[in-house]
Structure 1
Amino acid sequence: MRFLITFIGFGLFVALGNTVSQSAEPPNIILISIDGLSRDSVSCYGAKQVTPNIDQLANEGVRYETAWSMPAYTPTQVTLLTGQYPFRHGWIEDLNVAKQGSGGLNWEQFPTVAKRLRDGGYQTAVGGPWQLNQLSKQPDALQQHGFHESCVWNQAEMEQSRPPRQQADAQVLINGKREKAEHKAEQANSFLIDFTIRNRNQPFFIYYTMLLDREPRDKAKRKLDKLPSDKMNQHAESIKRIDQLIGNLIRAIDNNGLREKTLIVLAGNNHPAVDTKLRNERTTPTNNRISDFEVHVPLIVRAVGMVDGERVSHDLIDFSDIYPTFLELADLQPSRHVVLDGKSFAPSLRGSEDPYQKRNWIYSQLGETRMIRDWQHLIDTRGNFHDLQKDPLQEQEISPLDKIAPGRRQRLQMILDRFPKDAASPFRKAPKQHK
């Protein structure tokens, strides 16, 4: 039996169970990464915000309690796609290449998981915002990165296009061709649902990126469920909208006979740039971009028939683990000379992992600041050291009476010290434009 894996981005992981490894065919894989979706924005993690479709995934699958992204959007995307940490791929800051005039992610130096899966026989597609290349200057970038089909946009790049220029909010690039779209997010949603139906009889991979609070809502709001606008701010409305789009995908999978063949992973992708509230009603910090709170994201996996519903996992996972997990589930090896920093958690998903082989630390980075954590403690290169069980917001120094802390600090510091220096610029230079 073939299984369809849907990863919704917080970035992600899920286990297929023993049936996958025995399958004669590789699983389908969908990775959905939702920028700005934090744990305190999802009701199954304790938020007041109602997210029924995301909650459905948790009720029918696994909710991961400790998953880390990077603190910014584009470093997270590059880590998801390459399986490498920022110090290796060099994308240590949040960069939009269209705004900053760089060519984009170098597909020769940093081959993506999409390319490896395509080379392994998968049909591949990407939908949603794409900020890793200037597609006007590199029109074949998505194909080079491994995607057969695409429905994408880059707001900054479309605003720079000349002449004539349609309103940027009403444009998408469908397989490289610019087209009008009343609402880009709905367009990408429909495009990817159609892709799953057209390719249901062969293995496929979908990379689905979504953004909160960044898209026009006037036309879309008329199509969504009626909400009491006086009780919902823009961020809450955006979460509701994202949840409904996810519901569209779930229903399409279930209604087309793919429910028990489908693994759905929903992952958040760093904390939103808005004040939110934790379960204890305390306002979350927004001034410390490199902290556990900023990168501790939701990760939910649904695998009907393979994973018991409402399961909670406390495994440590970071986004570099996605690439090797996908390859193991697809029974593929990394390409030659490709270095992966992540560790596959496929055995954990199958329920066959040796507990002594689990990860005991995870990593994140922004700029020159790096941090790692284990199940209890966090350390970073600025000298901060915290007990996250006692101090989740990292507001207090550890008590000198804590007899366990010094040994933990030394162990984590040794791990942090062994990482290499930051790589050089990751960008492929854009070709010169001829007048």
Structure 2
Amino acid sequence: MMSSPIRIAVAVLTYVVLFPTAQAQTAERPNVLLILADDLGYSDLGCYGSEIETPNLDRLAEGGLRFTQFYNTARCWPTRAALLTGYYAQTVRRDIVPGVRSGGRGVRQDWATLLPVHLKPLGYRSYHSGKWHIDGMPIENGFDRSYLLKDQGRFFNPQVHWQDDERLPPVEKDSGYYATEAIGQHAIECLEEHHRQHADKPFFHYLAFTAPHFPLHALPQDIEKYKSIYRQGWEKVRQQRWAKIKQMGLLEGELSAVERDLGPPYAFPDHLEILGSGEVNRPVPWDALTAEQQKFQADKMAIHAAMIDRMDQVIGKVLRQLEAMGQSDNTLVMFLSDNGSSAEIMVRADGHDPQAPPGSAASYLCLGPGWSTTGNTPFRRHKTWTHEGGISTPLIASWPRGIQHSGAIRRQVGHVIDVLPTIVELAGGTLDVPEAESVRPALPGKSLVAVLQKDAPLQRDWLWWFHDGHKAIRVGKWKAVAAKDGPWELYDLAADRAESNDLAESNPDRLRRLVQLWDEQLAAHAAAAQEQ
């Protein structure tokens, strides 16, 4: 995919509607800093209910907006494809479509270009720092500079990473490298270079952290801050988060019941043996755990919190760089997560040494369903599922020059497919597809510009999900959802965002229409995915 700069040039030229407008030729077009966390739960930020210290993101929320009903795709690679192409991942072969070569190794069609390709003819320079998880490489897909960290399993000494599409040597152990800091430092260096050499141009920076994805690796001083907080147990922390969420006015209703028998999405019984008797793979009552298990679990959550804390610290450094450049007021900062908190438990990379300090390079721990349930407060289920816990993300948007309603809450229903059309509109472009380009489907997302600036309604027909066998569709306040090999459920999300009251039996006609629409959309995605 996008194997040469020539193919990129052709893509730009054939997208004839993407030319600078009069608005695009003004200095008012914003820079864009798009920040994506990995496996961050809905309630894992202070401004979304957490006890974790995230002062920099909290300040962005205080000066900008928080969205309460924004969605991702339930998994890392389809979210990244949807975010940067503006299409559902299935449309561009980056999530499974039956009968089509697709999924995590799927290759996008030539017309499924990434956001930087759209921004280049509008005068933008584009930068990437961090995780990629899309087919192709960043520079060949339109970015001007890139640091790509592929080695997800080693925060302290990654073996696989690239600078500007050129592979770098492995990082030595005990070198002082930490992935979150390295990703942020690259972003700062790109911004410094942009200010020195391209200050006359706007920029788009895609800052994709690997935190807080497993393995739970964090700096000792950050872990120490949270050592004692989580000994009270996951039920109490979840209740505290829910109380704070309601106090802040983010959500109303009821807290979902804990599904005690629902464990990780993938079973690795041999890995549980490696992790030892402190590990548990179900969100059992905290009081039912042994003292050893309670300590083990509390330590894991302390590391998870430390990873988020450090990410926020690094975001603060990047924001200070914007200030030093004089670009804070005219930079749209958007922060979100690629999926809900993860219930996964496994051991990869260099394995797990039970004698190593938890959170160190020699350890390999995962959050697991007990704390994942807390991370996704108040919703049900986890990463990979299409229930609300798997697909709901916090979204913070801050742009001092363009967003006047500081600290406001937005309740419009949005999705990661809306990010690309939003940025392109602010950049002064248009995304209408010429009739001659019949192969390229219309973008399904909606621009959020009027939502950001005026709290305008956001009209859409539906939102659709399909991942790992899990299905969902939302039309207005109604959502139909089915776990893999399970029956369809129906929820009124206006009254029951926690998906506690299944209305399938009392509203069979409504459910049937939603399921029919889901089937129709799958067929449409399959047809688009087969196009070259």
Q: Same fold (TM over 0.5)?
A: yes
TM-score normalized by the length of structure 1 = 0.76
Match of 2:225 in 1: 227
The aligned amino acid for 2:445 is G
Computing the radius of gyration over CA atoms, which structure comes out larger, 1 or 2? 2
Match of 2:206 in 1: 207
Q: Secondary structure at the match of 1:88?
A: coil
Q: Larger strand proportion, structure 1 or 2?
A: 1
The aligned amino acid for 2:430 is Q
Once the two structures are superposed, what CA deviation does each residue of 1:13-39 show, in whole Å capped at 9, x if it has no partner? Answer: xxxxxxx88944532222111111122
Q: Secondary structure at the match of 1:397?
A: coil
Query: RMSD over aligned Cα, in angstroms?
Result: 3.5
Q: Distance in 2 between matches of 1:259 and 1:288?
A: 35
Alpha-carbon shift at residue 42 of structure 1 (Å): 1.5
Structure 1 residues 283 and 257, CA gap change in structure 2 (3 angstroms): closer
- State whether residues 34 and 210 of structure 1, in contact with CA within 8 Å, keep that contact through their aligned partners in structure 2: yes
Does 1:419 find its partner at 2:521? yes
Structure 1 residues 41 and 279, CA gap change in structure 2 (3 angstroms): closer
Q: Secondary structure at the match of 2:526?
A: coil
Q: Distance in 2 between matches of 1:287 and 1:352?
A: 29
Match of 2:143 in 1: 147
Once the two structures are superposed, what CA deviation does each residue of 1:67-90 show, in whole Å capped at 9, x if it has no partner? Answer: 010011111111111111133112
Q: Distance in 2 between matches of 1:390 and 1:419?
A: 26
Q: Distance in 2 between matches of 1:206 and 1:51?
A: 21
Identity of aligned residues (%): 23
- State whether residues 316 and 374 of structure 1, in contact with CA within 8 Å, keep that contact through their aligned partners in structure 2: no
Structure 1 residues 370 and 109, CA gap change in structure 2 (3 angstroms): farther
Q: Secondary structure at the match of 2:521?
A: coil
Superposition map of 1:405-416 within 5 A? 409=511, 412-413=514-515, 415-416=517-518
Alpha-carbon shift at residue 317 of structure 1 (Å): 0.5
The aligned amino acid for 1:214 is F
Q: Distance in 1 between matches of 2:207 and 2:376?
A: 32
Does 1:347 find its partner at 2:450? yes
Match of 2:279 in 1: none
Q: Secondary structure at the match of 1:54?
A: helix
Q: Distance in 2 between matches of 1:257 and 1:121?
A: 19
Does 1:90 find its partner at 2:93? yes
Match of 2:315 in 1: 246
Structure 1 residues 239 and 93, CA gap change in structure 2 (3 angstroms): farther
Match of 1:163 in 2: none
Alpha-carbon shift at residue 113 of structure 1 (Å): 1.0
- State whether residues 79 and 85 of structure 1, in contact with CA within 8 Å, keep that contact through their aligned partners in structure 2: yes
Structure 1 residues 406 and 309, CA gap change in structure 2 (3 angstroms): farther
Q: Distance in 1 between matches of 2:330 and 2:528?
A: 41
Once the two structures are superposed, what CA deviation does each residue of 1:395-435 show, in whole Å capped at 9, x if it has no partner? Answer: 4322867xxx56754664464343142438979xxxxxxxx
- State whether residues 40 and 277 of structure 1, in contact with CA within 8 Å, keep that contact through their aligned partners in structure 2: no
Decide which moves more: 63-72 or 300-309.
300-309
Structure 1 residues 101 and 326, CA gap change in structure 2 (3 angstroms): closer
- State whether residues 86 and 365 of structure 1, in contact with CA within 8 Å, keep that contact through their aligned partners in structure 2: no
Match of 2:130 in 1: 128
Q: Distance in 2 between matches of 1:317 and 1:148?
A: 29
Q: Distance in 2 between matches of 1:142 and 1:400?
A: 48
Match of 1:9 in 2: none
Alpha-carbon shift at residue 285 of structure 1 (Å): 3.1
Once the two structures are superposed, what CA deviation does each residue of 1:255-275 show, in whole Å capped at 9, x if it has no partner? Answer: 332221121111122112133
Match of 2:418 in 1: 321
TM-score normalized by the length of structure 2 = 0.63
Q: Distance in 1 between matches of 2:226 and 2:468?
A: 41
Q: Distance in 2 between matches of 1:89 and 1:279?
A: 30
Q: Distance in 2 between matches of 1:238 and 1:289?
A: 24
Q: List gaps (5 residues or longer) in structure 1.
A: 1-19, 95-99, 160-166, 428-435
Does 1:178 find its partner at 2:168? yes
Superposition map of 1:71-86 within 5 A? 71-86=74-89
Q: Distance in 1 between matches of 2:496 and 2:446?
A: 28
Decide which moves more: 175-184 or 59-68.
175-184
Larger RCO: 1 or 2 (CA < 8 Å, sep 6+): 1
Does 1:58 find its partner at 2:53? no
Once the two structures are superposed, what CA deviation does each residue of 1:290-342 show, in whole Å capped at 9, x if it has no partner? Answer: 21221011001111143221100111101111111111111123376443121
Structure 1 residues 53 and 225, CA gap change in structure 2 (3 angstroms): farther
Structure 1 residues 148 and 412, CA gap change in structure 2 (3 angstroms): same
The aligned amino acid for 1:83 is G
Structure 1 residues 383 and 121, CA gap change in structure 2 (3 angstroms): same
Structure 1 residues 419 and 228, CA gap change in structure 2 (3 angstroms): closer
Structure 1 residues 389 and 198, CA gap change in structure 2 (3 angstroms): same
Alpha-carbon shift at residue 49 of structure 1 (Å): 2.6
Does 1:197 find its partner at 2:189? no
